[in-house]
Structure 1
Amino acid sequence: TQSVRNNNITNKMRSLLITRLSRKFNIDPDNGILIREIDWYLSKRNTNGTVMSNFKQLELDLKELLASSKKPVKKQKQFIPKNRAKVSMYDTVKKLPPIKKMPQERQLSSREKIMHLSDYQKAKYYNVKNLSQMMKDEKPMKSLIKNEPIENITKKLQFQTNLERQVLDKQRQKKQENNEKLYFENQVLKDVEKYEKEQEAQKYVKLQRRNELKAFMDKQIDEKKLQKKNQEEEKKEDALKIKALLKKEKDQIMKETIQKKKFQIRR
């Protein structure tokens, strides 16, 4: 009959939707939310079996319901074996005494913070805006400094801050002048050192040239002396040779004359 046919179609569609959506959303096919939504979706159909509700709407609703139903994953407790050693890390941790928390000091209010400060310190540590805001927050609306109104305090603080600013500007200017002076002195010292080094280098060059010239002149003189000495020795040798030759000639002449006389005597 028609009702049996419709039931068969419904069962087939149900199984198909369960498998498709469980794969898409990566959930168990027996998920209660999934089955409930699919059954509601299939109930909205005509007598001829055609579904009236929108399939995309089913997916969106199912996505929202699954996201809201997800519970945060609990962290698993650390596994401690039963049959462990007598003295272990866990025993030592258990035996440690509890950490005593130190008593925290009470935080002072803004009025108590500046109660002991002088006018100058108040002007130094609290600017005009902070002090005026503090006076608005706390009651009474009178000044903490000699019970003056806030306008007078602001004027005083402005005057003191201006004075401090002027002093700081002067200090900064003085520091800058000192830095410039030091820089100038350093530059002058560098120039003087450079000039002295150049002068020393020039002196060294001059001295080197003088030494080279002196060495050359000494060499020339030594060569001339040696040449003169050699010439004198040559002259002496020549004179000795001439003397020896003269003596030889004289001896020869004497010999010849003696032989002539001997020959004459014999005759």
Structure 2
Amino acid sequence: MIVSGSASQGLASALAAELGEELARVEYESFPDGERIVRVPPVEGRAVVVASTVDDAAHVELLQLQDAVREAGAESVITVLPYMGYARQDEAFEPGEPVSARAMARAVSTGTDAVYTVNVHEPAVCEFFDAPATNVDATPHLADPLPEDLRDPVFLAPDASALPLAESVRDAYGPGDADFFEKIRHSGTDVEITPSETDVSARDVVVVDDIVATGSTMSEAIGLLDEPSRVFVACVHPLLAANARTKLAKAGVDDVVATDTIERAVSEASAAPAVAEAIGRE
């Protein structure tokens, strides 16, 4: 049975269809004091809990869902974290700070037999889970909603570490070059970006990243491009906080495409096939 967190209902529905399993009807409520409560139907056999932890409330809801399915009769629990909040806090940056990704992973591990993340920002985060954890790559599916008529496309990553993501989308799409911007981070807010060496003049450009949060760094990078034909942004996790979408539009982005790990208007691709394939291999 597929059991969805309130922030992942579309992806959970798609995963149920991919796996040919029943989708549970889950109730989400809050008490007058603000505490949350979930209710799930009886479960036989395996429960697959699908919940993006987009905020602190979603973390609490996930832990409740894991406990609820056990109470409802689940013999085993698989937890799918399409988007794992706090995953970018994978180390203590200052003395006395927590390794937040580790703390969250340990909490999630207490209620599950296995974990699946989707393009977690730092793959090493999977080592923080006490349960077996697998990181699933959904980037090939970002090619699906891209226009079929891209003109001599260039797939660009925001830095060298993200180049495999750009190459993955390029390979799934077909023709095109892959390259990356040079990025030097001087501090948490001070980032120096230089354009790639690939000539993008009169060519369609697809900028690929795992997460678009505020859109500031990506907008700056796009502004460095030399007269591209069209510019598209493709990302797995469309956080798009505050006015990120507006920043990208003002930077000259023609369209943004993303998966449904975080369900937004731009979620035109689904991570469900990649997750279903990974679960099916076990």
TM band (smaller chain): under 0.3
Specify which structure has the bigger relative contact order, considering alpha-carbon pairs within 8 angstroms and separated by 6 or more residues: 2
TM (norm. structure 1) is 0.17
TM (norm. structure 2) is 0.16
Structure (1 or 2) with the greater helix fraction: 1
